[in-house]
Amino acid sequence: MTHQTTRGYRVFRVLNAVILTGVVVATLYPFLNIVAQSFSHERYILAGEVNLVPRGFNLTTYKIIASDPMFWTNYRNTVVYTVVATLVAMVLTTCYAYVLSKRHLKGRTFLIWVAVFTMFFNGGLIPNYVLVTSIGLKNTLWAIVLPNAISVFNLLVMKAFFENLPDELEEAAAIDGLNTYGILWRIVLPLSKAVIATMVLFYAVSFWNSWFTAFLYMSDAELFPVTVYLRNLIAGATGAEGAGAALGDVTQAASNIKSVTIVLTVLPILAVYPFVQRYFVSGVMLGAVKG
């Protein structure tokens, strides 16, 4: 019986390894193909001859983008927007989630449903634009930060995580003289590194990749994030008006410009992810134990 069980387990491990290897290959191949295209010459891309290795090594598009001062201005804007927006979002989400995790809070159910309601219903694009414009946020950092300051999904994950923390810890801290803010800062947050790191990653990726909010509320090119710059660059390479940079040889760059923009956009996130990866799975799982 033991032999049969062991044999079945080995078969399971082999099948599991094969399936997971297939998933990894299917996931990595498109990205590696994009990287290869970003360094390839246009004629090989158009002929469909680029797979995982660059053909006709070409840095033209990288040089065009890197030589444009506006690219670095917009890149700096993206860093600032992402850092500030993530910081604001984490403060608001953490405070709101901690409050909602307290079952004795009066009106707790109402506050939860207020948050959940916004997941399914909102005012719409035009009312949001009118609101942001009327309160003077257009062409400011806050037009990007405030409308997206709280993700309800992240809020509910953090709420569930806080609910799983032992109540005895907070009761002991209260007996020792800590107030609510002291308990949150000195007891709860140090025990929540996993979920905090996960939420920081979620927010940072969201704000880094976001372009439509800036495209909608920013009219000054000096304030654009790099995603809008790259969007305009692609539009210019395909013949649309309003390109974000003066392309020296747009014909030569047009074939691999999309690949270059993807690589330039995703690199910072790839650089950050290894440092928070060890918290990622545990943060999501611990926050999802309860709903």
**Counted domains in the chain:** 2
Q: What is the average pLDDT value for the chain, to the nearest integer?
A: 82
Residue 273's identity, in one-letter code, is: Y
The residue to which tokens 């950092």 are assigned: 141
pLDDT at 289: 46
Are 34 and 79 members of one domain? no
Residue 194 predicted with pLDDT over 70: yes
Same domain, 159 and 275: yes
C-alpha 208, offset from chain centre? 6
161 and 125 in a common domain: yes
Chain-centroid distance, C-alpha 111: 26
Between 110 and 272, residue with greater pLDDT: 110
pLDDT at residue 235 tops 80: no
pLDDT exceeds 70 at position 98:
yes
Q: What is the pLDDT of residue 5?
A: 64
% of the chain surpassing 90 pLDDT = 17
Residue 171 lies in a domain: yes
- Kindly state the average pLDDT of the residues 177-183: 84
In a domain, 157, yes or no: yes
Residue 54 lies in a domain: no
Model pLDDT for residues 43-57, shown as the tens digit of each residue: 788 777 888 888 888
Q: What is the pTM of this model?
A: 0.79
Q: Which amino acid is at 75?
A: Y
Residue 251 has pLDDT above 60, yes or no: no
Instruction: Tell me, yes or no, whether 151 and 38 share the same domain.
Output: no
Identity of residue 221: A
Q: Are 262 and 238 in the same domain? A: yes
pLDDT of the residue at 268? 82
Examine residue 55 and state whether it is found in any structural domain, yes or no.
no
Domain of residue 110: give its range.
60-287
157 and 230 belong to one structural domain: yes
Asked if 36 and 167 sit in the same domain, the reply is: no
Q: Is 238 or 63 the better-scoring residue by pLDDT?
A: 63
25 part of a folded domain: yes
pLDDT at 243 over 70: no
Answer yes or no: is 53 within a domain: no
- Per-residue pLDDT tens for 257-274? 778 878 888 888 888 777
pLDDT confidence of residue 134? 92
Q: How much is the average pLDDT of 276-290?
A: 56
Tell which wins on pLDDT, 13 or 274.
Answer: 13
- pLDDT for 106: 87
Q: Are residues 33 and 140 in the same domain?
A: no
CATH code, 145: 1.10.3720.10
The answer as to whether 201 is a domain residue is: yes
**Is residue 234 domain-shared with residue 112, that is, in the same domain?**
yes
* 51 in a structural domain: no
Do residue 78 and residue 204 come from a single domain? yes
Are 40 and 104 members of one domain? no
Q: Indicate the range of 18-22, 26-30, 280-284 predicted with least confidence.
A: 280-284
Same domain, 24 and 96: no
